[in-house]
């Protein structure tokens, strides 16, 4: 069989061979956007952004993600999917508006520079890799827990609005898991329309516009937002994203990925792009065999997803307008439903191993507490407490227990040593 014939069989014909990755890219973008764009808007509002600034952030994130996915996919012919940091957005929700939006923007900029530095200096990446996995996943779980409690609170306080959303999510999780969160979001919009609760809120237009904010810097924002945002993005997005690509037989260009995502985050921070990184949750949709049997054709899926992300970014104003007048607890409930699976995976990873479990629990409890000390939020203190506990308990375990003193032997007897 000639090469042309063999390629035709593998691809199932040229049109079929392109159609499959195009559809995979479509699913990747739609699922990725609809599952967590609510969380992105909620996160930016939580750290002090006004409605226009939050729409600006969502727009720029989509455009940057799409542009990088297209550029990296065409350059390296690999399905390199780019996303916003979902755990990073959850972190922003837990951090809250403690410093003002300008200080949050400064933290975004520094976090992006730290990712860039990781691409330039491998030792920094080694330091992140040295953080025990149970602590990193416990940190993620502690950040996610408050949001994942929102569906429970909404069911009690807003039963007429929340219960239909939760029911739709549960049914779709059972029968069409991939579409559970998009379906729950669609039911949310329908419920709000039926209740006449939607409309353009103050400062929200249907056409998204970039809004720039000058960065400001404070020790509290850098320690409470920038450092945890960098650590949690590296541990929960970039490292798993690289692992997904490696699992499917690719050799991802780690340095160009880190440099491009870090620099674009730093540059886009002034318009609300809080973190751009490798996709982890949706990465397999474009990199796996469902995208195409031929591994060399799957880059079409990630490039398609990138192009669609740019188009979806143009709907940022409409998306925000649909949700601006909704009760904040209901919006958080939708985001919490989307993150329940991630919370379960993080807890399982943090607590599976017996060794280091206590340190992981301490990290989780302190992070989930929402405490603030010296102007620094709980994620920083949770990671710090976990690292201290990890080293303390490890050293304690390494010290052998003192042996009891030997009983005095009766006089006139001797005992030969035992080996």
pTM (predicted TM-score): 0.80
DSSP symbols for 335-346: HHHHHHHHHHHH
CA distances from 371 to 161, 332, 367 (A): 30, 20, 8
The chain-wide mean pLDDT, for the chain, equals 85
Average pLDDT of the residues in 129-133: 81
Q: Which tens digits make up the pLDDT trace of 33-74?
A: 988 899 999 999 999 999 999 999 999 999 999 999 999 999
Q: Which tens digits make up the pLDDT trace of 260-270?
A: 999 999 999 99
Q: Are 142 and 366 in contact (CB under 8 A)?
A: yes
135 burial via Cβ count (<10 Å: 0-12, 13-18, 19+): buried
112 burial via Cβ count (<10 Å: 0-12, 13-18, 19+): buried
Q: Which tens digits make up the pLDDT trace of 290-324?
A: 899 999 999 999 999 999 999 999 998 888 887 77
Instruction: Supply the pLDDT for residue 403.
Output: 47
Give the separation between CA 185 and CA 332, rounded to whole angstroms.
11
Give the separation between CA 94 and CA 371, rounded to whole angstroms.
10
- On the question of pLDDT at 397 being above 60, the answer is no
- On the question of pLDDT at 217 being above 60, the answer is yes
pLDDT tier at 196, thresholds 50, 70, 90: low
pLDDT tier at 189, thresholds 50, 70, 90: confident
Percentage of residues in the chain with pLDDT exceeding 90?
Answer: 49
Give the separation between CA 201 and CA 162, rounded to whole angstroms.
21
* Token digits of residue 85: 């940091």
Instruction: Supply the pLDDT for residue 321.
Output: 82
| Range list of H helices, 158-211 | 159-175, 180-194
Average pLDDT of the residues in 19-40: 89
Domain extent listing, the chain: 12-396
Instruction: Supply the pLDDT for residue 285.
Output: 87
Which range has the worst mean pLDDT, 79-93, 196-210, 359-373, 394-408? 394-408
**Helix axis angle, 316-324 relative to 51-76, nearest 10°?**
140
Tell me how many helices (H) and strands (E) the chain has: 20, 4
């Amino acid at each position: 069989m000639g090469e042309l014939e063999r390629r035709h069989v593998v691809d199932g014909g040229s049109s079929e061979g392109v159609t499959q990755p195009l559809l995979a890219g479509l699913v990747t973008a739609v699922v990725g956007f609809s599952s967590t764009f609510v969380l992105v808007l909620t996160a930016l509002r939580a750290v002090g952004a006004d409605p226009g600034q939050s729409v600006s952030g969502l727009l720029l994130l989509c455009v940057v993600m799409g542009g990088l996915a297209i550029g990296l996919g065409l350059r390296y012919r690999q399905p390199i999917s780019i996303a916003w940091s979902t755990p990073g957005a959850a972190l922003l929700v837990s951090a809250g508006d403690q410093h003002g939006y300008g200080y949050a923007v400064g933290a975004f900029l520094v976090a992006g520079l730290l990712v860039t530095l990781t691409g330039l200096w491998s030792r920094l990446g080694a330091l992140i890799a040295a953080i025990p996995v149970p602590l990193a996943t416990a940190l993620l779980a502690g950040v996610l827990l408050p949001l994942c409690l929102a569906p429970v609170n909404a069911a009690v306080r807003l039963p007429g609005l929340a219960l239909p959303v939760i029911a739709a999510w549960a049914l779709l999780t059972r029968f069409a898991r991939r579409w559970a969160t998009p379906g729950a979001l669609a039911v949310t919009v329908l419920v709000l329309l039926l209740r006449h609760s939607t409309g353009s809120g103050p400062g929200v237009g249907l056409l998204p516009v970039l809004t720039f904010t000058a960065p400001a810097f404070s020790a509290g924002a850098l320690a409470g937002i920038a450092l945890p945002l960098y650590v949690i993005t590296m541990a929960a997005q970039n490292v798993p994203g690289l692992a997904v690509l490696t699992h499917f037989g690719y050799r991802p260009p780690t340095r160009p990925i880190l440099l491009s995502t870090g620099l674009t985050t730093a540059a886009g921070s002034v318009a609300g792009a809080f973190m751009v990184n490798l996709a982890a949750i949706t990465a397999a949709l474009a990199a796996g065999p469902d995208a195409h049997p031929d591994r060399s054709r799957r880059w079409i899926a990630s490039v398609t997803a990138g192009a669609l992300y740019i188009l979806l970014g143009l709907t940022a104003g409409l998306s925000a307008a649909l949700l601006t007048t909704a009760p904040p607890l209901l919006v958080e409930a939708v985001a919490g439903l989307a993150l329940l699976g991630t919370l379960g995976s993080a807890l399982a990873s943090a607590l599976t191993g017996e060794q280091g479990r206590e340190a992981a629990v301490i990290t989780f409890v302190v992070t989930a507490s929402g405490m603030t000390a010296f102007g620094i939020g709980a994620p920083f203190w949770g990671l710090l407490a976990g690292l201290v506990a990890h080293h303390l308990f490890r050293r304690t375990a390494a010290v052998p227990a003192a042996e009891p003193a030997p009983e005095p032997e009766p006089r006139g007897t001797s005992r030969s040593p035992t080996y």
